[in-house]
Each structure stands twice: as structure tokens, then as C-alpha cells.
Amino acid sequence: MSADRDNLEAWLREHPAAHDDLADLLRLRELYQSVSPPMPEEAAWNAVHARLHKALGQIPRPRPWWAIAAGVAAAAILVALLIPSWWTTSVMVPTGEMPVPSGLRTSQLGETSVSPVGKRGQRVVEPFPVAEPGDVTIISMDARDVAALVVGEPPVGGDLEFARPEDVRLIRCERCPFSGRQARPEPGEEVLMFVAAAAVAPSNE
Amino acid sequence: MATLTAPCPHDASDEQLLACFAAGQRQALDELFRRYRQPAYRVAYRLLGHEADALDAVQEGFLKALTHLHGFQGRSSFKTWLLRVVSNAALDLGRQRGRRDAVSLDAPHPKDLPDVHLLTIDEAGRRLERDELRQLLDKALDCLSEVQRQTFVLFADGELSYREIAEVMQTSIGTVMSRLFYARRKLRHFLNERGLL
């Protein structure tokens, strides 16, 4: 502080006009300090003081270190108990199905609802819908993340169907050279299947 | 561990009182409030121009200052920290409620201000009664921009140094000096036009 004062005094000696400005400023401050604002009554101070105590009393007091340590230990035990349960339900279950968003229009899937259990009985994880697509506005993003950004609706909402069963005509089907089995078309209601016929026994003739 | 249980002495430093308060001793608030309620009120009143509003700002300032002590970190004095929070609270209140006296929209540009000298306190006091003088000085503050008013009030009523004002307003000392320079010229011009200078 004394160094600051020395520097200031040296500078003021070199700039007399600034010295006058400073003197004026100090006189102005003295004028304002001489006419203080009207002070509140003691009752008003007491009211403020009481409100402060009340407001601060509603704020939780800082907890002692042993309480914090006990909380951390309890949290660690809880995590230790929950990890095996989470491991068996989430990691050990095979996931052959893609997760189905619960907010997806189920008519596109040909179903009336989305079951939490997949077609093969595996567990389907439903993400928690936090917003509709129209609710999201991307303001900015890191350029390195652009490649991961998917914008717009998927081109096909339902099952990807290349052809109807009646669109398929079998022109030629060769017998399997290893098993000797012959495949033939088996028209179903929705899906065309090819079923291998029983192997032809070699003829002794 | 002794500081957690031993009562805080009445002549404790601000740092000791804050440590007591942080340890849960609410009585430390009483002493801090007694020490700094008046400078906090003076600053708030000059910025708001109304007693009830100023008391609200003081209450909010103390509350914020004591509940956000992690932002204080002891880099400045508690008074500086408190006046920073109180002045900001007063400005927020002023924006919400409006300063009680209308701000002059035709304040002169600093370059147009004449270079005149202030009267002494005694000379000024002879011309105006104390209350009239106070009202005139408060009215003069309306000529200043918000940052100029905050800077001058912290200097005059908060009795802070340039360096402390720079800490409060999170700016450089040069900016503080510049704001005080223009504030002084505007105030002098306003008071001069009304015969005080």
C-alpha cells in the first residue's frame, strides 16, 4: 500500500491539474459524508435483524465432519449392494432386440403398444422420453460431434419390406451339393419361406 | 476443534466472526450486523433514495454475503465483500422498483461541463438547510449513470479505496478513476446550476 501511495504522490507531483481534481473529489466526498441519509429507527433495524436471523435459521447448518463421513460410508455400502443387482439385470441379460423408444408411434410397428419384453423374451430397455423432436433446438455444438448428429426422421418408420410373397417367383433352385436337400417355396400369409425338403436317398439302381 | 465450541469474543476480528458463523454460531451475525449495518445502509440509500428499499437491500445483502461465503474466500475485507453484495442488491432492487426519484434524461455531456470549484461544507451549509442539502445531493446522483453512481457511492459513503472499488466492481483501478472523474464533473455541474457552487 505504501508503494502505491508513493507512486500516486509522485504522479500527482508531475500532474498538478490532476492534483486539483483529486482535491475537488475529496471535498465532494466530504460534502456527501457530512449529510448522511436519515438513519432508520432502532425498531426498523431490529426488524431487519430478526428477519435475517429467521432467514439464516431456515438454511441448514453445516454438518460436522463425522456426519459427512457417515453419509459417504452409507452411500458406498448402498452402491456396493446395488451393483450386483444391476449387473444381473442389465449386463447378464442377452440383448438380441434393439431398444424400442417408448415414444415411437406404435402404428408404424404394426402393434398397439410397445411391450417392455422383446419378441424373444429379452428385456427391452425403454429410454425415458425427455422431449418431443419439435421441442429441441440445437443452438451450437462442437464441430467434432457433427458426424454423430442425426437430423430428421428416418426414411422408413416401420419394417423394411422389400417385396410381398406374390412378388417372388422361383425360377430355378439347385439341390444342395453337400446334403442333397432340395429347397422349395412355402408361401405363408405374410412371409415367404424356403423350406428344405428331406434328403433324397441315393438310388441303388 | 476448539473453534467449533468456544463462543466468539465480542472483540473478535471479522475473520474470527465469520469462522464462528461458519461453525454454526449465529450470534456472530449480531456483531457483524452491528458493525456494518450503517455503511451498508448508507450505500443502499444513496443508490435507492428510499429508506424501506434501502433496508430491504441491506437485509438481502447480509443474507447473500453470509450464505455465499465461498465466493468471498477472504481475498478482500468482509466490508468490501458486503458492500459489493449490498450495492448489487440495491441496483437490482432499483431496476425492479425504479429509483424513487426520476433519473434526469437530459444530463449534460462531460465535455460540456465547466470547471468550477466546490464550496466548503460550511459555506454550503449556510445556504441550505441540512435536509434540503441532502435532498439536493441525492438528486444530483440521478445525473450519473448506474456505474458512475455505484462507483461514487462506494467511494463517498462506503469509504472504499480505489483498489477496493475495483475489486467490488470487478474492473481496473483506471476504470474506477475514470468513472470518478466524470461523476465528479457531472455532480459539480448539477450543484453549480442550483447555486450550491
Q: Over its length of 205 residues, how does chain A's per-residue pLDDT go in tens digits?
A: 577 778 778 877 887 877 888 888 998 999 898 888 888 999 999 999 999 888 887 765 555 566 677 778 788 878 777 776 666 555 554 444 444 444 444 444 444 444 444 445 555 555 566 677 677 777 788 887 877 777 766 666 667 777 777 777 778 888 888 888 877 777 666 666 777 666 555 544 4
Q: Which residue of B5, B37, B60, B159 is the best one to mutate when testing the A interface, meaning the one whose CB has the most A CBs within 10 A?
A: B37
How far apart are the C-alpha atoms of B179 and B5, rounded to whole Å? 47
Name the percent of chain B lying above pLDDT 70: 79
Low-confidence ranges of chain B (pLDDT < 50): 1-4, 101-116
A57 CB neighbours in chain B (<8 A) are 26
Spell out the residues 6+ positions from residue A163 whose beta carbon is closer than 8 angstroms to its own: none
Please name the amino acid found at residue B138: D
Q: Which residue's entry shows cell 429507527?
A: A41
Q: Nearest residue on chain A to B115, judged by CA atoms?
A: A21
How far is C-alpha A139 from the geometric centre of its chain's CA atoms? 16
Distance CA A113, CA A96 (A): 19
Cα–chain center distance at B121: 21
Please check whether residue A48 touches B, CB under 8 A.
yes
For residue A21, give the chain B residue with the closest CA.
B181
Task: Decide if the complex's ipTM is over 0.85.
Answer: no
B38 to chain A: which residues are within 8 Å by CB?
Answer: 39
Q: Are A25 and B180 a contacting pair at CB < 8 A?
A: yes
Name the nearest CA neighbour of B58 among B99, B88, B22, B27: B88
Which one-letter amino acid corresponds to residue A194? F
Indicate whether this model's pTM tops 0.90: no
DSSP state of B196: -
Q: Tally Cβ neighbours within 10 Å of residue A165.
A: 14
